[in-house]
């Protein structure tokens, strides 16, 4: 969002989940957003720390504030309204209100176009989202970014519970997903898409039998940023592959 607002020169450091645009990778790293260290943040001499409510641990954030660095905490986005709120907050903070409104308008137009496309599909594929699959399957239920994206793209999340929970082979078989959705690093950790589909917990599901696996970049799928409309459109197209509107 800060890059899209044109204030990237104000960024002195980012956490490891900040991967887009490509230029952000050259910024100094302060670690993973859920396990930050006060020393790493303060070493960059920031005058403001912008986080979501997922950042932590809390004692680190308190130490940073105690050192005189103001904290701007924005709720983690789970909807288009959340993204608009975040853009508006940052645009106001940096005096870029006009640019912020343009970003919001463009996002809403793209979302409207995606919604019209989704409305043309007569069915809603049953989707299982996996956040991890190495030693244990970890599936995303309601209240997660993945669940929100599945719904926006016209799918039905088969994980009918809150948050992320481990998934047993028996549970996976009972859920009977038609599509398995996951992120790039899960496939990288396993060594390929076939390794995921061949796992005993998944191999007998309709998704595995039909080889219906959708893999997307983690930051893009779960990040809820200015590209939300385009991401929803791409996900909808891939979830409904082979199904004509």
Strands annotated E in the chain: 49-52, 71-74, 126-132, 137-140, 156-157, 164-167, 179-183, 213-216
Range of the domain at 157: 126-239
Count: domains in the chain: 2
Domain co-membership, 102 together with 137: no
Is residue 68 situated within a structural domain?
yes
Last residue of a domain, one of 62, 82, 115: 115
User: ∠124-189-155 over CA atoms, to 5°?
Assistant: 5
pLDDT in 10s for each residue of the chain, 245 residues: 999 999 999 999 999 888 888 999 999 999 898 899 999 999 999 999 999 988 989 999 999 999 999 999 999 888 899 999 999 999 999 999 999 999 999 999 999 999 998 888 888 999 999 998 887 889 999 989 999 999 999 999 999 999 999 988 888 889 999 999 999 999 999 999 999 999 988 998 999 999 999 999 998 999 898 999 999 999 999 999 855 44
DSSP, collapsed to helix, strand or coil, labels residue 196 as: helix
Domain co-membership, 19 together with 103: yes
In a shared domain, residues 53 and 154: no
Q: What is the dihedral of CA 168, 232, 149, 104, to 10 degrees?
A: 160
């Amino acid at each position: 969002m800060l890059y899209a607002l044109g204030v990237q020169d104000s960024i002195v450091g980012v956490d490891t989940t900040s991967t887009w645009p490509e230029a952000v990778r050259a910024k100094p790293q302060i670690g993973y957003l859920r396990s930050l260290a006060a020393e790493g943040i303060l070493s960059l001499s920031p005058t403001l720390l912008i986080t979501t409510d997922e950042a932590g641990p809390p004692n680190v954030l308190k130490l940073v504030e105690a050192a005189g660095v103001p904290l701007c905490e924005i709720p983690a986005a789970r909807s288009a309204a959340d993204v608009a709120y975040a853009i508006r907050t940052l645009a106001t903070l940096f005096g870029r209100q006009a640019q912020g409104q343009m970003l919001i308008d463009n996002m809403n137009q793209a979302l409207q176009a995606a919604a019209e496309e989704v409305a043309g599909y007569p069915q809603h594929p049953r989707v299982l989202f996996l956040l991890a699959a190495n030693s244990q399957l970890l599936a995303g239920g309601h209240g997660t970014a993945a669940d929100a994206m599945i719904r926006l793209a016209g799918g039905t999340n088969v994980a009918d519970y809150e948050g992320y929970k481990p998934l047993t082979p028996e549970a996976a078989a009972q859920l009977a997903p038609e599509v398995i959705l996951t992120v790039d690093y899960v496939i990288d950790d396993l060594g390929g898409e076939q390794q995921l589909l061949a796992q005993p917990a998944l191999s007998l599901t309709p998704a595995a039998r039909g080889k219906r696996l959708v893999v997307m970049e983690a930051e893009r799928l779960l990040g809820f940023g200015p590209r939300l409309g385009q991401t929803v459109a791409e996900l909808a197209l891939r979830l409904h592959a082979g199904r004509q509107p």
